[in-house]
Amino acid sequence: MLSKLLFIETLGCAMNSRDSEHMIAELHEKEGFVTTEDYKEADLILINTCSVRERPVHKLFSELGGFNKHKKKGAKIGVCGCTASHLGEEIIKKAPYVNFVLGARNVSKISEVLHKDKAVEIDINYDESEFAFKDFRSSPFKGFINISIGCDKSCTFCIVPKTRGDEISIPDSLIIKEAQRLVGAGAKEIFLLGQNVNNYGRRFSGDHEKVNFAELLRRLSKIDTLERIRFTSPHPFHMDDEFIEEFSSNPKVCKSMHMPLQSGSTKVLKDMKRGYSKEWFLNRVGKLKTMCPEATISTDIIVGFPGESDEDFEETIDVMKQVQFDQIFSFKYSPRPQTEAEHFTNVVDDEVASDRLAFLQSLNNEIVDTNHEKLLGNTYRVYFETLHRDGHVAGRSDNNIVIKVNGSEELLGQFRNVKITTIGRTILTGEVIA
């Protein structure tokens, strides 16, 4: 029998990528689908959406129109993920050719909705925390594992608690089993995912022994052939001493930390309901840099949040200068439906916000260039994961520096010592020395 073809487009964060993997696995196992890169030949077109900022939502409808126009006769279209959660039925009203809508918290129901025309499954209280998913992995070298679903925070700018619901931790026995399975299949690195990973263990859906994130890291690192553990995203509010100490001392935990600052102004942080101050953030960075000087630190920053004054923005710049982040993801504030900040009236002029973003990004470029200059001639242990058509193989150092070397697929899935020979802003080039 000919396989049915699935085209899936994934937007947004790593959580969404993992959800797409879940859906591909389910659809393969239960419905016999295999993936295709060409939506025009697909029997099922899925778009796994993100709603964290406004632009992707607009893009969604024009894209859906294009899919509908050129799709194969009889092909179905499904909208999944965070925008599906928050727009729900509206999607089918606006684009009546869409066959089903499946929220970010309901991905395990994919084979169910496939057979119900105009189904809308967007229950944000649906408990997927103990669901046994089938395996599909986009990379054989590293495995993404969800450790919690949902988010319990109430940051005033963020739509995620409305699209992914309350936070529930996944039992550690399931996480460990999944990690063992991945390692058994050859992955040497696992990537733990959750909205607030270091809040792990706050709530399980059934009775469960008290296990926090530091303890989860200790338990996972007992898996013999597992070499590297990465995770995203930790929350600065939950960066207690035990977490930073475990991060620093556990040799299997990769030394790169994402610390989403959002703003350097304590006043803005309060308006955002982030739960920490500028001083707390700097104190945690200080502890991390003292305990683990080799750690790289990345961050997320929002500029132009309602009420952000020039002085508030200066505070963000001050934190950037003090911390010298290795990488930043920076955004202009974008009002989102169903959030508290949507109703804030002290809006920042768009041009001012654009200027602040440009300033911040050019400062970051200077910092990254200076940081990278210091790396020339250094040697790192690189885990190779990606083969490029131009004859390069790329991988990451333990502290998340992307390095490419001349080489072929034999290097994939291998660790090698690499000496940095050329520096660039986003990628460094090196040569294998052992």
Binding residues for ligand 5AD, rule: CB under 6 A, are: 52-53, 157-158, 260, 262, 300, 302, 331, 333-334, 336
Q: How far is the first Cα of the chain from the last one, in angstroms, to the nearest whole number?
A: 48
CB neighbour burial string for 100-114, b if at least 16 within 10 angstroms, e if fewer: bbbbbbbbbbbeebb
Minimum distance, C-beta of residue 45 to ligand 5AD, in the bound complex (Å): 26
Minimum distance, C-beta of residue 138 to ligand SF4, in the bound complex (Å): 16
Note whether 260 binds ligand SF4 by CB under 6 A. no
DSSP string, 77-129: EEEEEHHHHHHTHHHHHHSTT--EEEETT-GGGHHHHTTSTTEEE--TT---T
Nearer to ligand SF4, 16 or 248 (CB): 16
Q: Which residue among 109, 164, 274, 416 contacts ligand SF4 (CB under 6 A)? A: 164
CB neighbour burial string for 206-235, b if at least 16 within 10 angstroms, e if fewer: eeeeebbbbbbbeebbebeebbbbbbbbbb
Dihedral sign, CA of 214, 300, 196, 48?
Answer: negative
Minimum distance, C-beta of residue 107 to ligand SF4, in the bound complex (Å): 12
The entry of ligand 5AD, ligand SF4, none near residue 76 (CB within 5 to 8 angstroms by kind) is none
The entry of ligand SF4, ligand 5AD, none near residue 16 (CB within 5 to 8 angstroms by kind) is ligand SF4
Note whether 339 binds ligand SF4 by CB under 6 A. no
Do the strands 228-232 and 379-387 form a parallel or antiparallel pair, or are they unpaired?
unpaired
**CA separation for the pair 348, 136 (Å, rounded):** 44
The entry of ligand 5AD, ligand SF4, none near residue 107 (CB within 5 to 8 angstroms by kind) is none
Give the per-residue contact string, 141-160, with ligand SF4 (x = CB under 6 A; - = no). Answer: -------------------x
| Binders in 67-96 for ligand SF4, by CB under 6 A | 81-82
Nearest residue relative to ligand 5AD (C-beta): 300
Minimum distance, C-beta of residue 138 to ligand 5AD, in the bound complex (Å): 20
- Provide the 3-class DSSP secondary structure of residue 47: strand
DSSP string, 238-303: G--HHHHHHHHH-TTB-SEEE---B-S-HHHHHHHT-S--HHHHHHHHHHHHHH-TT-EEEEEEEE
Note whether 108 binds ligand SF4 by CB under 6 A. no
Nearer to ligand SF4, 199 or 221 (CB): 199
Note whether 52 binds ligand SF4 by CB under 6 A. yes
Minimum distance, C-beta of residue 248 to ligand SF4, in the bound complex (Å): 28
Angle of helix 278-291 versus helix 241-249 axis, rounded to 10 = 30
Minimum distance, C-beta of residue 151 to ligand SF4, in the bound complex (Å): 8
Return the structure tokens found at 281: 């953030």
Minimum distance, C-beta of residue 22 to ligand SF4, in the bound complex (Å): 14
Sites of contact with ligand SF4 (CB under 6 A): 12-13, 15-16, 50-52, 81-82, 104, 160, 163-164
